[in-house]
Amino acid sequence: MFSTYTAKYTKIKSGYMGQLVEWPEVVTEGKTLEDCRAMLQDALREMILAYRQQKKEIPVGGALLEQIPAQI
């Protein structure tokens, strides 16, 4: 089965933090955005393996994100 997850990247002092919207436990950091993307994909693969071994239900991907304008 193939699923798509939504990644959220946040700029932090040491680089970037990446997290999956639908699976918040999958989180990592990297010095560059490219590093963070690669590490997040690796973290996702490892989490899928761990969930399968523990016979846990894997969260479904496919979240829809949109930006909402606000005057501040």
The answer to whether residues 39 and 28 touch, using CB atoms and an 8 Å cutoff, is yes
Amino acid 64: pLDDT: 84
Domain assignments of the chain as residue spans, ordered by start: 7-53
Q: In the 8-state DSSP scheme, what is residue 4?
A: -
Q: Cα separation of 72 and 53, whole Å?
A: 47
Q: Cα separation of 23 and 54, whole Å?
A: 16
The answer to whether residues 9 and 16 touch, using CB atoms and an 8 Å cutoff, is yes
What mean pLDDT comes out for the span 14-41?
97
What mean pLDDT comes out for the span 23-52?
97
